[in-house]
């Protein structure tokens, strides 16, 4: 990043840290949603953006993470900080299974994407029938008493959840950045760009792809744990839905696939846009069915048509926040837009 980029990042960080001081409940809930999508978008980006593996079923990992942590809490009194390990393990197991099937038997591209959808759908239908987890009627975590914040059990006020979400985003950003500059990260990028050439350069394709799935599914499961304890209710029709899987990938697509800040910027564009539309519909009274989705869709098409590489790379260039390869005469100071 450039000096200006670092300054802006610090400023944004400070603003986000201070936001609960001024934001009301509603704004805070919108911001928490933004951060949640930024986080899971970042997690998805590890697979698609870094390694070129298109997952259209990331709701599977959200749902598994959410249900495992919630079940451990409700049925066994195990807190989320312990439960999240089991949640990540469950998601990693599912991801590894899908990965193993795909990468061992040469399932690639669109067919891999279809397989990820299939597994998420199987989970959605399956969880509808698990009575122990409430089935289709939903699974509920006892609602928090807002008087006391209990970080150990992740029970408490919206402000607590806001800061937890912010920490998740910051953590994921730091992790993604470190990975991208590691040996594994460069191998991921090589596999994304040209699998044959990567393999000829000594990269074990199976291991590289599997490791991307493991990291991505584990991170996504954490997003599920957060969701379970934030909303206190889980319905298979929502958490495992195809719509949720798409919502997860939109911020990264809009912001810029494969970039570090793309998913974050994308979430800050899309979620407020959705809220604004809801507000406009309420104010004007034009509540036609599907109007919100239509606006949303048009906005998306516009972004995909006019900024196909995402908003972040364009913004970063315009504002001089980061350099792309080749835009600097001094090679050592070249971090690119990733």
Partner 1 sequence: MTALLEVAGVSKRFRGLKAVSEVSFAVPQGGIVALIGPNGAGKTTTFNLIAGVFPPDEGRVMLQGRSITGLRPNQVCAAGIGRTFQIVKPFGDLSVEENVLVGALARERSVETARRQARAVLERLGLADQAARPARSLTLPDRKRLEVARALATRPTLLLLDEVLAGLRPTEVDRMAEVLRELNRREGLTILMIEHVMRAVMALSDHVVVLDHGEKIAEGTPAGIVADPRVIESYLGAEGI
Interacting residues with partner 1 (CB under 8 A): 181-183, 186-187, 189-190, 193-194, 196-205, 258, 324-326, 328, 331, 334, 336
For partner 1, the closer of residues 77 and 202 by Cβ is 202
For partner 1, the closer of residues 292 and 324 by Cβ is 324
Nearest-approach distance from CB 51 to partner 1, in angstroms: 13
For partner 1, the closer of residues 113 and 198 by Cβ is 198
Which class for 219: exposed (0-12), middle (13-18), buried (19 or more C-beta within 10 A)?
buried
Give me 319's structure tokens: 């504002």
CA 66 to chain CA centroid, Å, is 14
Hey, is 140 helix, strand or coil?
A: strand
Hey, is 233 helix, strand or coil?
A: strand
DSSP code at position 329: S
Which class for 74: exposed (0-12), middle (13-18), buried (19 or more C-beta within 10 A)?
middle
- Check if the beta carbon of residue 57 is closer than 8 Å to that of residue 120: yes
- Check if the beta carbon of residue 263 is closer than 8 Å to that of residue 45: yes
Nearest-approach distance from CB 105 to partner 1, in angstroms: 15
Nearest-approach distance from CB 56 to partner 1, in angstroms: 22
- Check if the beta carbon of residue 66 is closer than 8 Å to that of residue 234: yes
For partner 1, the closer of residues 145 and 194 by Cβ is 194
Nearest-approach distance from CB 95 to partner 1, in angstroms: 22
Give me 139's structure tokens: 């699974």
Dihedral angle sign, alpha carbons of residues 151, 153, 157, 158: positive
Which residues share a beta bridge with 233? 140
For partner 1, the closer of residues 182 and 278 by Cβ is 182
Nearest-approach distance from CB 58 to partner 1, in angstroms: 23
Give me 247's structure tokens: 């919502």
Neighbour tally for 200: CB within 10 Å: 9
Nearest-approach distance from CB 199 to partner 1, in angstroms: 4
Nearest-approach distance from CB 28 to partner 1, in angstroms: 38
Within 8 A by CB and 6+ apart from 201, the residues are 190
Nearest-approach distance from CB 219 to partner 1, in angstroms: 22
For partner 1, the closer of residues 128 and 335 by Cβ is 335
For partner 1, the closer of residues 189 and 248 by Cβ is 189
For partner 1, the closer of residues 226 and 261 by Cβ is 261
CA 50 to chain CA centroid, Å, is 14
H or E stretch at 178: helix 158-180
| Distance from C-alpha of 135 to C-alpha of 127, rounded to nearest angstrom | 6
Nearest-approach distance from CB 309 to partner 1, in angstroms: 10
For partner 1, the closer of residues 155 and 338 by Cβ is 338
């Amino acid at each position: 990043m450039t000096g200006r980029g670092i300054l802006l990042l610090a400023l944004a960080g400070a603003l986000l840290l201070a936001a609960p001081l001024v934001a009301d409940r509603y704004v805070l809930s919108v911001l928490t949603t933004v951060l949640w999508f930024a986080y899971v978008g970042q997690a998805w980006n590890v697979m698609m953006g870094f390694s070129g593996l298109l997952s259209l079923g990331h709701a599977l990992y959200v749902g598994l993470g959410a249900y495992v942590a919630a079940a451990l809490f409700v049925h066994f009194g195990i807190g989320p900080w312990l439960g999240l390990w089991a949640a990540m393990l469950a998601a990693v197991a599912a991801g590894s299974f899908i990965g193993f099937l795909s990468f061992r038997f040469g399932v690639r591209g669109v067919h891999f994407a279809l397989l990820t959808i299939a597994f998420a759908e199987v989970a959605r239908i399956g969880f509808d029938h698990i009575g122990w987890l409430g089935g289709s009627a939903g699974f509920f975590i006892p609602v928090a008493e807002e008087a006391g914040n209990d970080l150990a059990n992740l029970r408490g006020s919206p402000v607590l959840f806001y800061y937890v979400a912010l920490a998740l985003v910051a953590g994921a950003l730091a992790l993604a950045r470190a990975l991208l500059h590691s040996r594994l990260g460069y191998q991921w990028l090589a596999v994304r760009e040209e699998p044959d050439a990567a393999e000829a350069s000594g990269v074990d394709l199976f291991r590289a792809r599997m490791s991307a799935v493991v990291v991505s599914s584990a991170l996504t499961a954490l997003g599920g744990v957060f969701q379970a304890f934030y909303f206190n209710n889980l319905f298979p029709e929502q958490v495992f839905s195809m719509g949720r899987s798409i919502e997860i990938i939109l911020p990264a697509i809009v912001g810029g696939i494969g970039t570090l800040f793309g998913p974050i910027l994308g979430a800050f564009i899309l979620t407020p846009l959705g809220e604004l539309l809801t507000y406009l519909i309420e104010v004007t009274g034009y509540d036609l069915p599907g109007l919100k989705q239509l606006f949303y869709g048009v906005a998306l098409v516009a972004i995909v048509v006019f900024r196909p590489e995402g908003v972040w790379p364009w913004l970063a260039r315009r504002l001089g926040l980061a350099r792309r390869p080749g835009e600097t005469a001094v090679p050592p100071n070249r971090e690119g837009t990733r």
